[in-house]
Structure formats: structure tokens, C-alpha cells
Amino acid sequence: AQTVTQSQPEMSVQEAETVTLSCTYDTSESDYYLFWYKQPPSRQMILVIRQEAYKQQNATENRFSVNFQKAAKSFSLKISDSQLGDAAMYFCAYRSYGNKLVFGAGTILRVKS
């Protein structure tokens, strides 16, 4: 069974600075998707970024980018120019072509002004 590990329960970052959230996963599959979701206090799950395993290029979405290391099974999220609105719980998730999402335990990100 696939597992997703987020080893940082909480992280803090100063406004306008950069922070990296870590995620590792375990799978025997070669084709899969990886995601970062944001859950703000409203608790609405918001997709931040998606990475397809067969693509070597790291995904980017504006201030959000990932460092995808397939051999190491690592998938970290970098948030640049952090904003107060980035404060949330962030979940790393794995999905095979079977469609079921497996979530990590989450990382609470606090942004200091």
C-alpha cells in the first residue's frame, strides 16, 4: 500500500520569505500523480499544484513550485514570497491511476507579519 509522510507538523515563515514543506512517499508503481492541497481555516480543500510522475520537469504555479525527486520518492513544496493568506494546513497527496487519494498527515504553515 502507498504511504505519504510529512515529517514537519508545523512550520513558520516570515512574510515575503521562502519556505519549503517536505513530503516523501512510498510506492511500487511507476505511474502516479502527486499533489499539494491547502486547507485554510474555512476547511475547503484547495489544489495548489499537481505533478505527474512521468514528467521530469518540476511543476510550478506562480509562487508555488515543487522539487520532485522520483528516485528518492520525495516531493517538496516551495512557497516563495510568502503571504499572510498562505497560512493554512498543507497536505501532500498521492494518487495512482486507480483514483484513490492517499494523504499525508499535514503541515501547519504559519506566516508571520
Partner 1 sequence: GAVVSQHPSWVICKSGTSVKIECRSLDFQATTMFWYRQFPKQSLMLMATSNEGSKATYEQGVEKDKFLINHASLTLSTLTVTSAHPEDSSFYICSAGTSGGTLPYNEQFFGPGTRLTVL
Which range binds partner 1 by CB under 8 A, 16-24, 53-61, 78-86, 100-108?
Answer: 100-108
What is the three-class DSSP state of 25?
strand
The residues that bridge with 91 in the sheet, in sequence order, are 37
Contact with partner 1 (CB under 8 A) among 34, 91, 94, 109: 91
Give the gyration radius of the chain's Cα atoms: 13
Which of positions 25-54 make contact with partner 1 (CB under 8 A)? 42-45, 50
For 60, residues 6+ apart whose C-beta sits below 8 A from its C-beta are 49, 66
Binding residues for partner 1 (CB under 8 A): 42-45, 50, 89, 91, 95, 97, 99-101, 103-106, 108
